[in-house]
Chains A and B, each alone.
Chain A
Amino acid sequence: MVAFTLRRLLSTILVLWAVVTLTFFAIRLLPGDPVTVLISQGGGSAEDIADLRQKLGLDDPLPIQYLRFLANLVRGDLGTSLVGRRPVSVAIAEQLPHTLALATSATLISVVVGILLGVLAATHEGSWVDQLCITLAVLGVSIPILLSGLLFILLFSLVLGWLPATGQGTWRHLVMPSMVLSLASTGTIARLVRTQMLEVLPQEYVTVARAKGLQERVIFWRHALRNALIPIVTVVGLQFGALLGGTVVTESLFSRRGLGRLVVDAISWKDYPLVQGVVILGAAIYVIVNLVVDLSYGLLDPRIRRR
C-alpha cells in the first residue's frame, strides 16, 4: 500500500508538471502578443508596449520565462493579471470559495440522492419503484443545465417565489444552482449504484447474512453497498471534473460570482495569465481529487490494503 501510494503520488506530480508545461507553452507559442493587444485596445504608444513587455519579463528567451514561471508557481505565484494588474493568485483566491461551495454541495447532493435512488431501485427490481427511479435517473442525465436551470428558476423563483433566482450570499442562493448542477451526476451515480447492487445482491455472503436473520436494511446498507462502493467512488471522482466544468455554465446562468465568470471574462479580455492560472488550477483540483479517490480504495477494501 505504501509503495502504491508513493507511486501514485509521484505520477500525480509528473502529470501536474506536464499540465503546467503544456499550458505555458500552448499559450505562448501561438501568434498574437497579449501586451500589444492590450495596449492597442487602451490606445497606448509603442513605448508603453516596450515598457510593459519588459516589466512582465516577456522580452526574455522562452526557456528563461518558463523556468521563472515554474519557480514562481512553486511559491504560489501565478503571475500578474494583465487587465487588473494584480496577482492572479489573489483574483483566483477571491472567487475560488464561491465555486468550491457550488461544486462540493452539488457533489454531496449527487452522492446522497444518487445512492438513495440506486439502492431503492435495486431493492425493488422490476417494480414500479424501480421504473420510477430509472426514469428519474435517465431524465437527470439527459436534461442540459441550460434547460433545467431555466425551468428551476421559472418554477421555484418566479412561480412559487421560494428561492432567489440570482446572486449569492445565503444558503438559499446555493440551493437551486447546486441542484441543477448535480442532476447529471445524480443520474449517473444512481444508474451505477443500481447495476452494482444488482451484481452484489445475488452473491453468497448476502444469502448468508439473510440466513443469519439480519434485517434487510442492514444487509443492503452495510453488506451489499459496501462491496459495491469502489466503482461508485471512482465515478464520483470522474464526475467531479464534469461538475467543475459545469460550474462555469451554472454560475453564468444564475449570475453567480466564481471562477467560471472569472475565466470567461479573462478570455474575452485576452488576459492570458489569468486564463492560464484558472486552467492550471482546474486541472490541478481534478487531478488531486482523483488521487484522493485512488488512495481511498485501500480504506474501502482491506484486500487492497494488504497488497
Chain B
Amino acid sequence: MILERSSAVGLVSILALGAIAFSMLLAPWLTPYDPLAMDPRSQLLPPSRAHPLGTDLFGRDVLTRVLYGGRISLSVGFLAALLAAVPGLLLGLMSGFYGGFFDQVVMRLTDIALAFPSLILSLGIVAILEPGLVNVTIAVGAAGIPGYVRLVRGSVLKVKETLYVEAAQAIGCSNRRILLRHILPNVAASVLVLVTMDVAWAILRATSLSFLGLGAQPPTPEWGTMIDAGRELLRVAPWVSLAPSSAMMLAVLSINLLGDTLRDALDPRSQSH
C-alpha cells in the first residue's frame, strides 16, 4: 500500500498539493480581483481583510497574483517534467534494450550533456531559443533528459537479465512486446518517482529563469517575475516578494515530500534518509 510507510508525511503532502492545485484552478472564483488590473489608489497596502497578502506597487492584489502565478508555475513544472521524461524514457529503453552502436552514441551524448552544470545548460538553451516562458519550459525540460536516460537504461540493463525476460524471448515474444509488457512496468516505478521530484525541480528552475528576466515577462503574474519586482520593495513592502517565494517553497516542498513517500512505497531498497 502506498501510504503504509511514513504515511503521515505522505498524507499531509497529498493534502497540501491538493489544496494548492485546487486553489489555483479555482483562482477566478476564489478572488474578486483581476491579476492585471492596476489600481493607483491601493498601492503597496499591507495585508488586510480586503487584501490578505497586501497589494503590489501597481495596487494589484498579491494573493490573486500568487494564485494565478501558481497556474503558470505548476503547468510549466509539469510540462517541463514531461518534456524530460518522455524522450528520456524512450531513449533509455531503446539504449538499454538494444545496446550496440545506438547505445554508445546515446551514452556519449548524455555524458556530454551531464558535463554542463544543469542551470548553465538551461541558460545556453534559452540563449539559443530566445528568452520567453515557452522556451524556458523547453530549456528546463531538455536539461532533464539525460537524467532519465541514465536511470531508465540502468534499470533496463538489470531487468533484461532476469529469467522472465529470457522466458519471454524463448517463447518467441517480439522485442516490442518484451519492451512494453515486461520491461516497461519494471522501470515505471522509478521513473514515476523521478517525474514527481522533477516537477518540483522544474518549478524552481523555471521560476529562477523568470526571476533572471529570461522567462515570463511582467506584467504576467508569474512567481519569478513577482519576486524580481518585489526585491527592490523588500524594505517597504516585504509581502510583495515573500508571498510568491513562500508559495513556491510550499509547492516544491509538498511535491518533494510526495516524491519521498512514493519512493519509500514503491522501491523499498532506496530509502530516503
Contact = CB atoms under 8 A, between A and B. Distances in A.
A283 B213 contact: no
A264 interface: yes
A282 B123 CA distance: 11
Nearest to B212: A264
A245 B201 CA distance: 13
Contact of A143 (B111, B120, B249): B249
Interface residues of A, number: 48
A248 B123 contact: yes
Contact of A286 (B117, B130, B208): B117
Contact of A245 (B117, B235, B249): B117
Contact of A146 (B124, B127, B245): B245
B241 to A, nearest CB: 6
B117 A282 contact: yes
A279 B208 contact: no
Contact of B213 (A23, A142, A154, A268): A268
Given A19-B112, A142-B256, A267-B127, A150 B117 contact: no
B253 A253 contact: no
A19 B208 contact: no
B115 A19 contact: yes
B86 interface: no
A146 B128 contact: no
B124 A26 contact: yes
A232 B111 CA distance: 22
Nearest to A192: B273
Interface string B209-248: 0011110000000001001000100110010011001101
Nearest to A275: B127
Contact of B115 (A252, A270, A275, A286): A286
A283 B256 CA distance: 28
Contacts of A245: 117-120
A145 B252 CA distance: 12
A240 to B, nearest CB: 8
Contacts of A286: 115-117, 120
Contact of B234 (A18, A142, A158, A194): A158
Nearest to A255: B231
Q: How large is the interface on B (under 10, 10 to 19, 20 to 34, 35 or more residues)?
A: 35 or more
A150 B119 contact: no
Interface string B131-155: 1000000000000000000000000
A165 B238 CA distance: 14
A153 B212 CA distance: 18
A267 B273 contact: no
A195 interface: yes
Contacts of B124: 23, 26, 275, 279
B74 interface: no
A150 B112 contact: no
Nearest to A260: B212
A154 B234 contact: yes
B79 interface: no
A216 B236 CA distance: 52
Nearest to A194: B273
Contacts of A146: 207-208, 211, 224, 227, 245, 248
Nearest to B200: A142
Contacts of A57: none
B4 to A, nearest CB: 21
Nearest to A241: B117
Contacts of B238: 150, 154
A22 B108 CA distance: 12
A69 to B, nearest CB: 16
A122 B204 CA distance: 31
B188 to A, nearest CB: 26
29 contacts: A15-B111, A16-B115, A19-B112, A19-B115, A26-B128, A27-B127, A27-B128, A30-B128, A146-B207, A150-B227, A150-B238, A154-B234, A158-B234, A195-B273, A241-B118, A245-B117, A248-B119, A248-B120, A249-B119, A249-B208, A252-B211, A264-B123, A267-B214, A268-B213, A275-B123, A279-B123, A282-B120, A283-B120, A286-B116
Shortest Cβ-Cβ A-B pairs, 6 listed: A245-B119, A241-B117, A147-B245, A282-B120, A279-B124, A267-B127
